[in-house]
Structure formats: structure tokens, C-alpha cells
Amino acid sequence: MERLQKVIANSGYCSRRKAEELILNGHVFVDGVRVTELGVKVNGNSAIQIDGVTLKTEAKEYILFYKPRSVICSVSDEKNRKTVVDLVKSDKRIYPVGRLDYDTTGVLLLTNDGELSNLLISPKSHVSKTYVAKVSGCFKKDDAKIMATGVEIDGYTTKKCNVKIKRYDKKNNVTFVEVTLYEGKNHQVKKMFEALGFMVIKLKREMFAFLTLDGLSSGQYRYLTIKEVHKLYSLVQQKKS
């Protein structure tokens, strides 16, 4: 027996968070009975329907995508802007794991594995995310030390992170800085630099856990190997414990 929202997420229909919303809003039926509470457990023989559609399990799919600029990190967009799902062709109900800003590029994982997605974005997992930011002005070692220790954004002090100055372009007065986080607040990297008086001109995520952009150009994607999927599961389960 498993919780209903987990079963829905594992089927690839949507994320666990979205499944919880569907349940609470009365969109889900189990064996013909509407369910509006999150504590309900079901077994493999339960007939689950969402908005009249019978839930079916589908093969899991894991895609590593090099997200370009000016693309929405979502399944759909009310303003009809291009989304990551528009660029990654799949017959599965895949969705992005976490988010990258509209103008941020780099590593993005898409999957229909709700369990893995939930584990990867959980604050308890502390999955590393490495970014390279191009910022205005001369970002110095003292600034890096302050940022690495933690800065206040939106009334919250960020956790310790790794900050490395890659190079300073004196001619254009910009600095390239590598930041590795183990948390994922909204617009966190940009806000951290802003807290120290620096504006982010460009931002690229170069690593998510151990996954990199090697072999990919902007807009391209590849499927993860079985070994990589197992490694992701192993990573988040170790962090969780």
C-alpha cells in the first residue's frame, strides 16, 4: 500500500506536489470514490481516475537537457512562450526537475519519475548545483568569502556554499564567478550577488549533482544511462539518510 499522491507521481502523470493539489481540489477518484485527503493509501489493483482519465503507468524516462535562454522551465505557459517541453520531444508526460529562470541557461533534468524528482528537489537531499555567473564590476576575494559564508536574501540567510572567482575582464569590467549551492531558493544566485551589490548579466548552470553539459550544445538533449539513474537514486538516498 502506498500513498495516493506517490502512486500518481510514480505513474508519470505529474509531480507529487501537483498530485497533492489535484487530490485536494477533488480531481481524483479511487475505485469510483472521490478522494480529497492526502492520507489515503492505495494498492496495485486500485482504479485511479484523474478528471475522468484512468491512470496508467508508463516507462520511466530521464533526459538531460541543455536549456537555452528565453525558454520557460515549465510544461506549459499561459503567455504562449516556448517551454522546455516544446524543445524536448517525448511521448511521455515529462516535466522539469526544479526550475531555471527564463534567461538562465544550462543543465536541466526532465523526467516522468515523480519519486526521483521529489527526492532531487527536496531540501533534505542537498543536491549540489554549480553555476557560472557573469557579474558587473570587480568581484573580489573578500566578496567571495562573504558569499560563501552566507548572505541575507528575503529575510533568509543562505547556507554555506562554494565560491570561486574564475577571471576578471578588466576591459569590460565584469567578473566570472563559479558558485556551487546545496539548496535551491527562488532566484537564489542572482539575489546573492545583488545582496553584495553586483548585478548578474548572464547565468549558466554547469552541473546538477554529477551531471554536466559535456557533448551537448544549447538546445540539445540526451537520455541518461541506467548507471546514471542508479547513481542519482543512490546519491539522494545517501543524503536523505
Domain coordinates in residue numbering, the chain = 2-54, 62-124+210-240, 129-208
Write out pLDDT tens, residues 82-136.
999 999 989 888 999 999 999 999 999 999 888 899 889 888 888 999 999 999 9
- The CA distance from 128 to 172, in Å, is 30
Instruction: Tell me, yes or no, if 101 is annotated catalytic.
Output: yes
Write out pLDDT tens, residues 177-209.
999 999 988 899 999 999 999 999 999 999 999
pLDDT band at 150 (very low <50, low <70, confident <90, very high): very high
Q: For residue 91, give the amino acid letter.
A: D
Q: What is the SS3 assignment for 31?
A: coil
Fold agreement between 2-54 and 129-208? no
Grid cell listed for 88 = 524536448
CATH architecture of the domain covering 62-124+210-240: 2-Layer Sandwich (3.30)
Identify the CATH class of 129-208: alpha beta
Q: Which fold has domain 2-54?
A: 3.10.290
Annotated active-site residue in 86, 101, 103, 113: 101
**Is 143 buried (19+), middle (13-18) or exposed (0-12) by CB count in 10 A?**
buried
Q: What is the mean pLDDT of the chain?
A: 92
Confidence at residue 240, expressed as pLDDT on a 0 to 100 scale: 59
Q: What is the SS3 assignment for 151?
A: coil
Confidence at residue 198, expressed as pLDDT on a 0 to 100 scale: 98
pLDDT above 90 for 77: no
User: What pTM was estimated for this model as a whole?
Assistant: 0.81
